[in-house]
Amino acid sequence: MTDDPIRIAALYQFARFDDPRALRAPLLAVCEANAVRGTLLLAKEGINGTIAGSDKGVEAALDHIRALPGCVEIEIKESRAAIMPFHRTKVRLKKEIVTMGQPDLDPLAGVGTYVAPEDWNALISHPETIVIDTRNDYEVQIGTFEGAIDPQTASFGEFPEWFRAKRAELEAEGRKPKIAMFCTGGIRCEKSTAFARAEGVDEVYHLKGGILNYLEHVPEQDSLWRGECFVFDERVSVGHGLAAGTHGLCRACRRPLSEADMAHDHFSEGVSCPRCYDERSDEQRARYAERNRQARLARERGEEHIGRRDEAERDG
């Protein structure tokens, strides 16, 4: 942990909220009153998100969250940053706090076996272990564990179909291996391992606290992690010790960019990158160019420009 002034708290908790809508306004008010920014998702199945601010401000928000039903022992992963990684504060109501598209799945009813970061290497190095990265394809591209399978999913909602097909493939080979899953902070694996168990898979494990917990506690010289870990804020990616990574971010599609990506002919700051250039129309790129121009002018005036991120999200 560094001495940087901004405290970042990534958190999630599966809990049973009877009326998430009633929780939204008080939570937003606490965050705004304490100058805490970030995004929090509320659903009947619990809470998920990342917030940032001063130590005092974040602690006030966390105290409020811990007082919510079933959240007294909420999972929190902390890091620090030199500058605020979020532009604003949002508390959103969702059907799921991590969208898998399995409405009857209840992670509170049973998940896989948690594995501490210190024990993870031994598990995934075992020849009978199948290691699965449950994140989206663009996240896997910049870093993953040695030997892990990339499902190449564009969204978490594609995971159940992929898993069923992969399981059928393994069973056709006469294999019933141990399955180890991992994700950024642990929340997807709560659902993916619960799904695997609901599908009848008994020996399934997941990395407690996710990749971020592993990178914080396992020394780089002992690590089986390769590359960087994508994070959903202005840091873009982190490495061992949760140090800031080397990747940039496409402001049009929100995907991470390597140095080679930023040198590509299809990269234009705030407008396009090699991955999204063919996904956008000339009209969309013109809007992004104007948004980027306004942001640049705001910086030159010493003002903060929030921009139109929602527009980029709507476009894909």
Q: Which residues are catalytic?
A: 183
φ, ψ dihedrals at 37, nearest 5°:
-115, 165
Per the structure block, which two tokens stand in for 117?
């970061």
Distance CA(247)–CA(234), nearest Å, equals: 10
- Run of H or E including 163: helix 159-172
Place of tokens 């007294």: 72
Which ranges constitute the DSSP H helices of 218-264?
259-262
Tell me the pairing of strands 37-43 and 46-53.
Answer: antiparallel
> Sign of dihedral through CA atoms 103, 106, 112, 114?
positive
DSSP β-bridge partners for residue 182: 133
Distance, CA of 97 to chain centre: 11
Per the structure block, which two tokens stand in for 91?
């508390």
Distance CA(140)–CA(136), nearest Å, equals: 6
Distance CA(104)–CA(160), nearest Å, equals: 13
Identify whether the C-beta of residue 101 lies closer than 8 Å to the C-beta of residue 153: no
